[in-house]
A and B are shown apart, each in its own frame.
Chain A
Amino acid sequence: MLPTEMDRITIAYSLGIHILFVSISLALPIIMVVAEYIGFKRKNAYFDLLSRRMSKAMVLFFAIGTASGIAVAVQLLVLWPGFMGLVASVAILPFYVEVFAFFMEGIALGVYVYSWDKIANRHLHMFFGAMIAFFANLSGVLIIMVNAWMNTPNGFNISAYLSSGVLTGLSPLSVFATPSTAIEVMHALGSTLFTGAFLILTYFAIKFLFAKSAELKYYFKSGLKIAFGLVSLVFIPVGLGGTLSMGMLGTLEPAKYSALDMNLVPHSNAYEYLFGWKVPIPGLQSFLLTGKTSGTVPGLSLFPKSDWPPLFVHSTFDLMTIFGIVLGVFIIVGLIAIAVRYYLSKSRNWKHKPKLSQIFDPVYGSFMTYVTIFMGAIAMITLELGWITDEVGRQPWIVYDVVKTYTVSNLSGWVIPLGIFIMVMYTFLAIFTVFMVRRILTNEDIVLKLKDYPSWERKISNSEQPVTMARGSK
């Protein structure tokens, strides 16, 4: 194996795990603060306890996310020294601002977690919780800005750089707003947040199904409700961003677009293909890209073969799209079921509620809870597929149309043993962290902890009793 191949495998493996930790770190503080707010407003002990538990898990995810983030930052420096040299000269500002966002997030987390019983004003406490969420997501935005710059570089005189290798016409602030930044932030941040929220939703769904008492069921249902709300809310920008991304790629990264849609030659009235199967609507692809069925779409033949990305990205792209649609259908069905149940609960015919709304309600119905667990796995795979599509689709360029990946990688023989070391350590940390989070969030003493609260805060109203009582619940 060549060092340059090991560079790519190592960073791909590290980032593949890192984005999963990050996705949870983005969603968790939002769910945590919303739970605290609801607990505070409704004087509900379940939500308050949920928030406290989430904050402990947040510390773990922050610890591992931070450490793996540092490791990824160092890997970028040492595995791609030439690339980071260019970034440091042209596009370092988003990274630089991100450090401060990272700082603020860490400090806010410290205040939130370790001052829970020190801050008398709960609004102030919630403010620090909101700051964790804000700065975590701001960090995400800033990192995506650098990725957008890799896809559509600006901020320097590119033609002068390509001809002489000298950096001129530096405009450091323009890096914050490349032609692809807005759409990429919408899609990438949205999908990362979406996946994080979905993984948390899945955790609550599993615990809800296996909970053995009404109190525990209500506790996990509280988390289910918030996580499903967040998932539903975030899905809109994810879908919109995804649709807009393809239009943008057709104009700004036509080689990547051509590979994703498997267009070997440019043509008009282009059909859309899914796994090689032609969708029988004439001009659908042309319409999606240009707004006209007669519009011309780019093809790979416009580019030298050495500049083609690996063509398997067409399959990863199709899979991502199909899974995205499946997730969307799941959310829409769930929302309709919730709306129907809500409407019926207000009417006098509540006793005769239709079975269907129970079945498809992700918060009350056991069928949808099982489906949620399956969808959690789909959401995780979709995020990874999307990331692979984006990164591999840009190859052989690390900075599109400017720098090729192999020209800036570290060719030292050290990278092979170190790459193996990194992957082993990452695997160990990922497995161990999941194990530890499971232990921390274990429900052993939740009922015991609930007893610390006044009884009126622990009361579950009849209308809020979970309908589904899984095995052993009686």
Chain B
Amino acid sequence: MGEKDLQQRTACDNGEGIKMSAIPFFVNYGILAAFLVLFLVEVGMAFLAALNYEKFKGLIMPYIVPIWEINGTFAVFYVVNLEATYPSLVPAVGTLFVAPLIFSFVLYAVHNGFLAYSEFIEKKEPERIFMITYGISTLIVAFVAVSMLTSSVSAIGISLKTLSITSYTFFLNGFNIMYFIAIFFLILTIVFILFSVKMYSPYLPLVFLVISLIFLFVPTYIYTRYIFNNFLHYYPIFIVVLLIFVVSFLLYYLERYKLVSKALLVLGSYMSVMFYGALEYPYFFNGAINASNATVTGPIATAEDVITIVGGLAVVIFMAVFIYFSYFVKEGKVKKTRAGSPVK
């Protein structure tokens, strides 16, 4: 598909529209969105850790400690679901992203390791060094991961013919840099509100959000016109997402229903990623690959659907129990649990 042709086409006017066959695409995107929201908050925490661990320690550990294992599992879930949904793309994706994938996942191992070490180390100095190492490795992983995601949208810095990347262009193209800035400011917005970080002005999160939106729209318009055109078509959904953010901000500034405000922020972030998926659908690599044509069909697809529903339900039930014990039950409930004789 020519670039000019692509710029003229939108998902709607070329008859692609979002149909039932789009479900695997959005299931995959839903997993990505869940991982991104959890991971990006972690990136925000890692940024604070690298910036001033002593100051933000009280915010960081209570959030990260219970959930970092689950973040990693979401990453695996996304990779396996991607393989299961688009088996025909696996050889190409594997060959193309060999360097950034390996680099980011090995650094992810470092990130996991140092977080776990710092959790149980009892001395202060190694804990600080471990957390800074964790913070820096997380930021590098985030940059490489964002670069892979943006290149799967813009196809800048990669060659689908030779299945190779040009490192310089891959990382340092305008689209990637501007998206990274946008995501970074979005992370700051989320972290500042989610953890009530008070620095400089209380309106800083609002400024961050505006900067983030500018850095999202400009490269989308310049580099991926078809996504921008789709945005113009689906703008009512964007208004809904924006309204969720507005309500969340209002509640935050009015200091009422704080929990609702935070929940809306997480929901808004999740919906933003899903909305972006709707804009990108059905293409990858700036229109070079049509996801609908690469999606698995037949008995294997049915089996995957059943496993997703059953496994997903089981995970949701366990997650609910986990969230209940992690965030709603205080340690004081059982003052000291001794062998066989819990003291209530």
Q: Which of A98, A418, A454 contacts B341 (CB 8 A)?
A: A454
Report yes or no: A82 in contact with B329, Cβ–Cβ below 8 A. no
Report yes or no: A71 in contact with B340, Cβ–Cβ below 8 A. no
Of the 9-residue stretches A179-187, A338-346, A428-436, which lies at the interface with chain B?
A: A428-436
Report yes or no: B331 in contact with A99, Cβ–Cβ below 8 A. no
A62 at the interface (CB under 8 A from B): yes
Chain A 111-126: CB-based contact to B (< 8 A → 1; otherwise 0): 1001111111010000
Return chain A residues, CB-CB under 8 Å to B81.
96, 99
A56 at the interface (CB under 8 A from B): yes
Chain B 105-118: CB-based contact to A (< 8 A → 1; otherwise 0): 11011111101110
Report yes or no: B315 in contact with A100, Cβ–Cβ below 8 A. yes
Return chain A residues, CB-CB under 8 Å to B164.
412
A64 at the interface (CB under 8 A from B): yes
Return chain B residues, CB-CB under 8 Å to A104.
314-315, 318
Return chain B residues, CB-CB under 8 Å to A433.
113
Q: Which of A81, A115, A118, A425 contacts B106 (CB 8 A)?
A: A425
Return chain B residues, CB-CB under 8 Å to A118.
325, 329-331, 333-334
Which of A62, A67, A412 has its CB near the most chain B CB atoms (within 10 A)?
A67
| A40-B340, A107-B70, A118-B334 known; A81+B92 contact, CB < 8 A | yes
Q: Which of A39, A75, A173, A414 contacts B340 (CB 8 A)?
A: A39
CB-CB contacts below 8 Å: B309-344 with A: 311-312, 314-315, 318-319, 321-322, 325-326, 329-331, 333-342, 344
A453 at the interface (CB under 8 A from B): yes
CB-CB contacts below 8 Å: B62-111 with A: 65-70, 72-73, 75-77, 79-81, 83-84, 86-88, 90-95, 97-99, 101-103, 105-106, 108-111
Return chain A residues, CB-CB under 8 Å to B112.
63-64, 66-67
Return chain B residues, CB-CB under 8 Å to A47.
339
Number of B residues near A (Cβ < 8 Å) is: 77
Of the 9-residue stretches A86-94, A192-200, A297-305, which lies at the interface with chain B?
A: A86-94
Chain B 6-42: CB-based contact to A (< 8 A → 1; otherwise 0): 0000000000000000000000000000000000000
Return chain A residues, CB-CB under 8 Å to B335.
117
Q: Which of B70, B113, B321, B338 contacts A63 (CB 8 A)?
A: B113
Report yes or no: A429 in contact with B113, Cβ–Cβ below 8 A. yes
Chain A 37-60: CB-based contact to B (< 8 A → 1; otherwise 0): 001111111011000000010011
CB-CB contacts below 8 Å: A270-319 with B: none
A353 at the interface (CB under 8 A from B): no
B299 at the interface (CB under 8 A from A): yes
Report how many A-B pairs have Cβ atoms within 8 Å.
259
B129 at the interface (CB under 8 A from A): no
B49 to chain A, nearest CB (A): 17
| A70-B109, A422-B102 known; A59+B120 contact, CB < 8 A | yes
B58 at the interface (CB under 8 A from A): no
Return chain A residues, CB-CB under 8 Å to B331.
117-118
B199 at the interface (CB under 8 A from A): no
Which of B99, B103, B304, B339 has its CB near the most chain A CB atoms (within 10 A)?
B339
B308 and chain A: residue at smallest CB distance: A96
A224 at the interface (CB under 8 A from B): no
Does more than half of chain B's interface fall in helix, strand or loop, or is it mixed? helix
Return chain B residues, CB-CB under 8 Å to A82.
91
Q: How long is the Cα–Cα vector from A87 to B300 in the complex, in angstroms?
A: 12
Report yes or no: B109 in contact with A64, Cβ–Cβ below 8 A. yes
CB-CB contacts below 8 Å: A327-341 with B: none
B161 to chain A, nearest CB (A): 14
Return chain B residues, CB-CB under 8 Å to A454.
338, 341
Return chain A residues, CB-CB under 8 Å to B172.
none
Report yes or no: B73 in contact with A436, Cβ–Cβ below 8 A. no
Return chain A residues, CB-CB under 8 Å to B1.
none
Return chain A residues, CB-CB under 8 Å to B207.
none
Report yes or no: B87 in contact with A110, Cβ–Cβ below 8 A. no
B254 at the interface (CB under 8 A from A): no
A160 to chain B, nearest CB (A): 15
A440 at the interface (CB under 8 A from B): yes
Report yes or no: B340 in contact with A43, Cβ–Cβ below 8 A. yes
Report yes or no: B69 in contact with A412, Cβ–Cβ below 8 A. no
B298 at the interface (CB under 8 A from A): yes
Q: Which of B115, B329, B340 contacts A115 (CB 8 A)?
A: B329
A473 at the interface (CB under 8 A from B): no
Q: Which of A90, A97, A110, A415 contacts B98 (CB 8 A)?
A: A415
A229 at the interface (CB under 8 A from B): no
| A70-B108, A99-B80, A452-B336 known; A114+B303 contact, CB < 8 A | no
Report yes or no: B101 in contact with A77, Cβ–Cβ below 8 A. yes
A359 to chain B, nearest CB (A): 32
Q: Which of B75, B94, B111, B339 contacts A45 (CB 8 A)?
A: B339
Query: Can you list 17 A-B contacts with CB-CB less than 8 angstroms, sorted by A residue number?
Result: A39-B339, A41-B340, A56-B120, A59-B116, A78-B94, A81-B93, A81-B95, A84-B94, A85-B91, A95-B84, A103-B311, A108-B318, A111-B325, A122-B340, A172-B299, A172-B300, A425-B110
- Residues of chain A at the chain B interface (Cβ within 8 Å): 39-45, 47-48, 56, 59-60, 62-64, 66-71, 73-75, 77-82, 84-85, 87-90, 92-93, 95-100, 102-104, 106-111, 114-120, 122, 170-173, 410, 412, 414-415, 418, 421-422, 425-426, 429, 432-433, 436, 439-440, 452-454, 457
- Residues of chain B at the chain A interface (Cβ within 8 Å): 65-70, 72-73, 75-77, 79-81, 83-84, 86-88, 90-95, 97-99, 101-103, 105-106, 108-113, 115-117, 119-121, 164, 296, 298-300, 303-304, 307, 311-312, 314-315, 318-319, 321-322, 325-326, 329-331, 333-342, 344
What 4 pairs across the A-B complex have the smallest Cβ distances? A81-B94, A100-B311, A67-B109, A88-B87
13 additional A-B pairs beyond A73-B80, A77-B79, A170-B298, beta carbons within 8 Å, are A40-B339, A56-B120, A70-B72, A70-B109, A74-B102, A77-B90, A77-B94, A81-B90, A87-B83, A93-B307, A110-B67, A117-B337, A412-B98
